[in-house]
Structure formats: structure tokens, C-alpha cells
Amino acid sequence: MTIKKVMVIGAGQMGSGIAQVCAQSGFDVLLNDMNKEALDKGMNRIEKLLARSVEKERMTESDKEATMSRLKPSSMLEDAKDCDLVIEAVVENMDVKTSVFQQLDEITPKHAILASNTSSLPITEICAVTKRPEQVIGMHFMNPVPVMKLVEVIRGLQTSDETFTKIDEMAKQLNKTSVEVNDFPGFVANRVLMPMINEAVYTVYEGVASVEDVDTVMKLGMNHPMGPLTLADFIGLDTCLYIMEVLHEGLGDSKYRPCPLLRKYVSAGWLGRKSGRGFYTYD
């Protein structure tokens, strides 16, 4: 089986980025979202980023048009009926993801691979809700997808070697470097990154330093491109909280307890950049 047609589910910041790089790499892509506004926003975001690439002479106008012609919006999961690969990038919530995978298992052709861009949830558990666990895998892109080179590839217990090889090859076709990691809460990226972000929230919560000063320490002191609180706003505070909860529950160690301030912000709807307010405010 050769992967030609891909559906990306969830047109948020990750899904739109994944759809963009797939279309730029020559795949036919359907970008799906249940929310019409999110779908329009995702398609517009891609168009804008491609236009910027043309402006910066990283891409020609005709490459941009060819990329956009390979990319179609979709509002129904049933559109996945002739896709070879589906990459799910909906909200980081196990119930939502398992419901999507159960539906995809019924809709997609028998040969199709079902991948999840989950940041932290157990791939083996996602595999288990389908009748094709050997064709289910984790394909964890980093944000912003068009810029970041890494993809963590995570096998569930039953994922086949063939599925792994196909996804590993696909990552290379997308011009990414893949790293295979085992199916443990948070994999590698978020097991290491999120406790740092959570600790940065604690330093603000405990009055050790201001939001700006914590970020300055980590930017100028450790040469991080963004301070941890700017990065948390960029990722989405809801996503950060979900990941900390997965680490806390899955690894059973109190060192992973989410900071109460992070919880409070999410309860208030302060989700970071995407909602206009998090540790900082945005236009």
C-alpha cells in the first residue's frame, strides 16, 4: 500500500500545520473539523503561511497554488472512506479520541493506517478500540509543525512493523526527523518538557518571580527560544493541563501534580494564545 490520500482531523494549530506539510509534500489532503469556524480558520492559516513563504522566496506562486489544490476542507468523517492514512489531531481527551477512532475504523478502507498526534495519551489504549490495532500508531508532531523538525513515532503494543515502517517513511517524505519512542505517558517530549513548564507556573504561583522574569531567566539563562510561560500560552494551557494530568495519573508520582494556578487559568477559559489570554494577553 502506498500512502496517497490523507485526512487530518482537527483543524486547530496542529491539524492545520500537519495538513499543510502533507500537502506541500505532494499528498492529497482532506482537512476535517466538526466546527465550521475552526475549519475556515485552519484553511486560512495555511493559505497565509504559504503566502508568506512565497513572499520570502522559499516557494514559488505556482508551488503555492499546487499545494492549495491538493488540500480540501471536510466537515464529515465519512469523507475518509477512500483515505490511505488518517492523522487525528483533535482535543487531548481520551473519550473524544476513542470515539473518533471507533468511527474511523468503520469508515476507512481496510488497508488504511490510523495515526494519532496525541501529546501524551496511551497509543495501546487507542489501538484497542479498533478492530485493526496493528494499523494504529502515534505520530507526534511538534508545534509549529511547518518549522519543527521532529516527529515522535510511538507504537502501541500491537502496532505492526509494516505500519511503523510506513509512518517512519512518511515522516521522511515530510522532511522531518523521526524518533521511535515507547508507549509511556508523555512519551519523551512531554515527559521532559511539561514538568519544566509546570514548575515555571509554580514559581509564579509561589511568588518567586513574575511571569516576564521567569521567561527572561529561561530565555537568556538557558538560551531557550521562548520562555516556558510564553511556550505554555503557545501550546495551549488546556493541552498543558491535560498532559500533566496524564503524567500524574499514568506515572503515579506526586512530582507531576498540575499547578493549581494552571488549573485555575484553564477553568477561567484562559487557554493562552488561542483564547486571547493566558499568562500574557493577545490581540
Three-state SS across 92-126? CCHHHHHHHHHHHHHHCCCCCEEEECCCCCCHHHH
The x, y and z cell numbers of residue 37, run together, are 469556524
User: How far, in Å, CA of 73 to CA of 79, rounded?
Assistant: 10
DSSP structure class, residue 276 = T
- Of 32 and 190, the one with the shorter C-beta distance to ligand CAA is 190
Among 146, 227, 258, 278, binds ligand CAA (CB under 6 A): 146
| Distance (Å, whole) CA 241 – CA 247 | 10
Question: And the C-alpha cell for 203?
Answer: 514559581
If the CB atoms of residues 59 and 150 are measured against ligand NAD, the closer one turns out to be 150
Alpha carbon 232 to chain centroid, angstroms: 14
Smaller CB separation from ligand CAA, 32 or 117: 117
Answer whether 168's CB lies under 8 Å from 153's CB: yes
Q: For residue 246, give the H/E element and its range.
A: helix 237-251
CB of 110 to ligand CAA, least distance (A): 30
Which option in ligand NAD, ligand CAA, none does residue 100 bind, with CB closer than 5 to 8 A by kind?
ligand NAD
Cell of 82: 477512500
Stretch that binds ligand CAA, among 142-150, 159-167, 170-178, 201-209 (CB under 6 A): 142-150
Question: How many Å apart are CA 36 and CA 232, to the nearest integer?
Answer: 26
Choose among 170, 230, 156: nearest CA to 200. Answer: 230
Active site residue 140: yes
Among 53, 119, 120, 198, which one carries the catalytic annotation? 119
Q: Is 152 an annotated catalytic residue?
A: yes
- 35 is a catalytic site residue: no
Burial class (CB in 10 A: 0-12, 13-18, 19+), 66: middle
Nearest residue to ligand NAD by CB is 12
Number of residues that bind ligand CAA (CB under 6 A): 18
Nearer to ligand NAD, 89 or 259 (CB): 89
User: Which of 130, 163, 239, 279 forms a contact with ligand NAD (CB under 6 A)?
Assistant: 239
Q: Does 74 bind ligand NAD (CB under 6 A)?
A: no
Q: Three cell numbers at 55? A: 513572499
Amino acid identity, position 195: P
Q: Which stretch binds ligand CAA (CB under 6 A): 28-36, 96-104, 211-219, 224-232?
A: 224-232
Q: Which residues bind ligand CAA (CB under 6 A)?
A: 49, 52, 56, 119, 142-144, 146-148, 189-190, 193, 225-226, 231, 235, 239
Positions marked catalytic: 119, 140, 152, 190
Q: Which residues bind ligand NAD (CB under 6 A)?
A: 9-15, 32-35, 38, 89-92, 96, 100, 117-119, 140-141, 143, 235-236, 239, 274
